[in-house]
Amino acid sequence: MIDTTGIRRRYEAVAPHLDERGLRLFAASEARAAGRGGIAAVSQATGIARSTIGRGLRDLDSAASAWPSGRVRRSGGGRKAAVVEQPGLLETLTELISSAIRGDPEAALLWVSRSQRHLASQLAERGYRVDHTVVGRLLKDMGFSLQANAKTREGSQHPDSGLVSKPPQRPVRAYQ
């Protein structure tokens, strides 16, 4: 019989301090120590998928040199950059924002007067598959600030509006 309560306690004690790879290796070592049925027991006790525990077991069996130091995942993982998958994207974005660039060109702070969502929809009309977060990342990589100037207070009470309202004056009555 495998003690799933002990596995759960150990998992809850170390989980906040481990990264993705550390949790995978912890689960794999618990499964190996449990023996037959260990993967199922650890999966049930921790909520970690059986396939993840299996990858952890393979990681334990592989040489320690297979993982570069300081990395959680192997190199080459993840999605290719949008500018690599869609040639011409950066040039088209530059063309779209060329008339909307604001700020002092000699200062470090530049921004675009068009919203990221509008730019994403204009790029979609030209055949590119991007959303506003990709547009924001590209603009940031190009050196633009993603914040625009804005008033902190709106309405007629704002000093810049020139319409500061004053309370009405009551007429003064002379009493006899």
Domain extent for 31 = 4-65
Q: Is residue 19 part of a domain?
A: yes
Tell whether 31 is covered by a domain.
yes
Task: With cut-offs at 50, 70 and 90, classify the pLDDT of residue 161.
Answer: low
Distance between CA atoms of residues 113 and 106, nearest Å? 18
Three-class SS of residue 77?
Answer: coil
Write the pLDDT tens digit of every residue in 27-79: 999 999 999 999 999 999 999 999 999 999 998 888 655 666 666 666 776 77
What's the per-residue H, E or C state across 95-125? HHHCCCEECCCCCCCCEECCCHHHHHHHHHH
Quick check: is 76 in a domain?
no
Tell me, yes or no, whether 98 lies in a domain. yes
The reply to whether the predicted model has a pTM over 0.75 is: no
146 assigned to some structural domain: no
Domain count, the chain: 2
Beta strand residue intervals within the chain, DSSP E:
101-102, 111-112
- State the pLDDT at residue 173: 63
Residues 88 and 134 in one domain: yes
Let me know whether 54 and 88 are in one domain. Answer: no
Tell which residue, 148, 147, 120, has the closest CA to residue 133: 120
Beta carbons of 119 and 93 less than 8 angstroms apart = yes
